[in-house]
Amino acid sequence: MTQIIQDSAASAASESAKSHPMWSSRMAFILAASGSAVGLGNIWKFPYITGENGGAAFVLVYLLCIAIVGIPIMIAEVMIGRRGGGSPLQSMRKLVADSGLSSRWKWLGGMGMLASFLILSFYSVIGGWAMTYVGNSVSGNFVGATTEQIGAIFGNLLGNPGELLLWHTLFMSLVILIVARGIRSGMEKAINILMPLLFVLLLVMVGYAMNTDHFAAGFSFLFSPDFSKLTTEGVLTALGHAFFTLSLGMGVMMAYGSYLPKQVSIVKTAVTVSVLDTVVALLAGLAIFPLVFANGLEPGAGPGLIFQTLPLAFSQMPGGVLFGTLFFVLLVVAAVTSAISLLEPVVEWLEEKPAISRFGATLIAGLSVWLLGIVTVLSFNVWADVTPLAMFERFEGKTLFDLLDFVTANLMMPLSGLLVAVFVGWFMSKQITEGELKLGNGLALNVFMFVLRYLTPAAVLVVFVYNLL
């Protein structure tokens, strides 16, 4: 009997030693969560969707979405994670048990994990593009190049599966190496170096932009709104992007929250992370648009903006090799810290199985993601004509990569965000929220609950339904 008790105590102890490391401080969590949030979304996507949607008016809507939808959902996700203390699936399981709810809610955590797994498979391929652009800049391939030549560099890259695979492999290897070492000695250490580096590089780029004659033009493009340029589509894009840029709806913030020490304020931390993320996006805009205007380029050039338009700016400016290289290093750094966060939910879940170590879990998850990434690699060349849903008009011409992107970003992310808001707002016991958020008695908690119950779901529902139709 004593033996049994001792055994189970020992196994409980070893299990908790195995599965409950913590971030070393509030600052460590803030850096890790902002590392997750700040990524390709801020430096690649935000500038080009802002450019396509006419600038400042769009930026204003985006800021509103961050405040009404982004911050409340981030608070809810981190709270679920910290209270649940496990992988998204495990945390949801625990919370529904504590609140006496149907165990089906746990699939909310499961969906998040699946989505982060799918997203990483193509995020890694695009991270690989950024790596090749570091190489291209350093070796002076952009110097004096024409628009056609720069377009050809991009086209050749996408057309070459071997090269895409090589860079995808390098990118995933880096991610696996960092994640395998664990929260403290791998991720925290890497992030402590990478995030400050990212800020410094970004400030250097903004400093450069300030010295061009077109800084004012870039500034007013971002900050003096012209509402006639705002479309319904633009509003929906802004809302969708608020999710993506804050890493919401994929279990990532739940997973990171599970390592958050109890005494840290979730609300303050979530607000800090969201503000940092927003500041980085705006700084990226301030670094990029002056260059775009200074070189007579088109702000609305689309997804190729930083891969095709910016190298052209770098090709013409003095010091272009240096600044071009800095810029793409920045992009790789941002992509790596986001990618490690996308791997974490699945790794944490695998690690909860008694037989699997952290290292094993990372290897299994990482290799599977790598394998799935080959689908994206081939979508740009060999399988460019494979469009399985072409019989539906709206999916005409959509490759497997496009479909992965669509399913995760337009379906899974908003659906999971909506369910998180509904779960915490309407179902989860309010005592849990009170206990975790410690907002004092009255007003602040009520405001939070009101936003999460009504405003957030309504806003998300609009995008979700629109995306489906």
In the complex, the residues that contact ligand TRP under the rule CB under 6 A are: 36-37, 39-42, 116, 244-245, 247, 250, 252, 338, 341-342
C-alpha closest to that of 424 among 449, 444, 447, 445: 449
By beta-carbon proximity to ligand TRP, the closer residue of 36 and 315 is 36
Residue whose CB is less far from ligand TRP, 42 or 399: 42
Three-state DSSP class for residue 100: coil
Q: Closest approach of Cβ 402 to ligand TRP, in Å? A: 17
Which residue number, 248 or 292, has a Cβ lying nearer to ligand TRP?
248
Nearer to ligand TRP, 137 or 341 (CB): 341
Residue (248 or 321) nearer to ligand TRP, CB: 248
Of 64, 84, 81, 69, whose CA–CA distance to 29 is shortest?
A: 81
What's the min distance (Å) between Cβ of 254 and ligand TRP? 10
- Separation between Cα atoms, residue 332 and residue 327, nearest integer Å: 9
Q: Which is nearer to ligand TRP, 342 or 437 (CB)?
A: 342
In this structure, are residues 222 and 56 in contact, taking their beta carbons and an 8 Å threshold?
yes
Q: List CB contacts of 288: < 8 A, sequence separation 6 or more.
A: 47, 209, 218, 305, 306, 310
What is the rounded distance in angstroms from the CA atom of residue 431 to the CA atom of residue 441?
A: 12
Q: Which is nearer to ligand TRP, 39 or 84 (CB)?
A: 39
Q: Which is nearer to ligand TRP, 250 or 419 (CB)?
A: 250
Residue closer to ligand TRP by CB (options 49, 449) is: 49
Q: Tell me the closest approach of the beta carbon of residue 102 to ligand TRP, in angstroms.
A: 25
- Minimum separation from the CB atom of position 391 to ligand TRP (A): 29
State the number of CA atoms in the 13 A half-sphere of 257 facing the CB: 31
Q: Is the dihedral of CA 204, 205, 211, 216 positive or negative?
A: negative
Q: How far is the C-alpha of 104 from the C-alpha of 73, rounded, in Å? A: 20
What is the radius of gyration, based on Cα positions, of the chain? 22
CA 424 vs CA 9, 77, 91: distances in Å: 33, 9, 13
Query: Token pair for residue 214?
Result: 């077109």
Give the C-alpha separation, 267 to 146, whole Å. 49
| Residue at token pair 């927003």 | 278
* Count of CB atoms situated within 10 Å of the CB of 392: 8
Task: Select the residue whose beta carbon is closest to ligand TRP and give its number.
Answer: 41
Cβ atoms of 305 and 297 within 8 Å: the answer is no
Look at residues 239, 232, 249 and name the one whose alpha carbon lies nearest to residue 463.
Answer: 239
Torsional sign, CA 318, 319, 321, 323 = negative
Q: With H, G, I as helix, E, B as strand and everything else as coil, classify residue 168.
A: helix
* Residue 111 CB, nearest approach to ligand TRP (Å): 12
Would you give the DSSP letter of residue 247? T
Q: Least separation, in Å, of the C-beta of 452 and ligand TRP?
A: 19
- The least distance separating ligand TRP from the CB of residue 408, rounded to whole angstroms, comes to 8
Nearer to ligand TRP, 53 or 245 (CB): 245
* Least gap, CB of 120 to ligand TRP (angstroms): 8
The whole-angstrom separation of Cα 118 and Cα 121 is 5
| Distance from C-alpha of 446 to C-alpha of 453, rounded to nearest angstrom | 10
Minimum distance from CB of 335 to ligand TRP (Å)?
7
